Amino acid sequence: MWTPPPSRRVVSSPRATLLLRLLLLADAADAAPPLVGVSPQDEAYFATQVIACKDGSGSFPRIRLNDGYCDCADGTDEPGTSACPEGKFYCRNIGDTPRLLFSSFVNDKICDCCDGSDEYESGIHCQNTCRNRKDIDEADDGGAELSVTHLDATSEFTIKHTIGIQNLVHNNINKDLIQKLRGLRMALVIELGLVVCIFAFCVARRRTRTRRRQHILKRKLCLNNSVLMHWDLFSFVGSRTNSPKKLCCFQVS
Per-residue pLDDT tens listing for the chain (253 residues): 555 555 444 444 666 666 666 555 455 444 444 689 999 999 999 999 999 999 998 999 999 999 999 999 999 999 999 999 999 999 999 989 999 999 999 999 999 999 999 999 999 999 999 986 556 555 555 554 544 444 455 555 566 556 667 676 677 787 788 888 888 888 989 999 999 999 999 999 888 888 888 888 888 888 877 777 777 777 766 666 655 444 444 444 4
Burial of 59 (0-12, 13-18, 19+ CB in 10 A): middle
Q: Are 103 and 87 in contact (CB under 8 A)?
A: yes
Q: Are 118 and 107 in contact (CB under 8 A)?
A: yes
Q: DSSP 3-state assignment of 132?
A: coil
User: What's phi and psi for 37, nearest 5 deg?
Assistant: 80, 10
Bin 116: left if φ > 0, else alpha if -120 < ψ < 50, else beta: left
Q: DSSP 3-state assignment of 31?
A: helix
Q: Are 109 and 119 in contact (CB under 8 A)?
A: yes
pTM for this predicted structure: 0.43
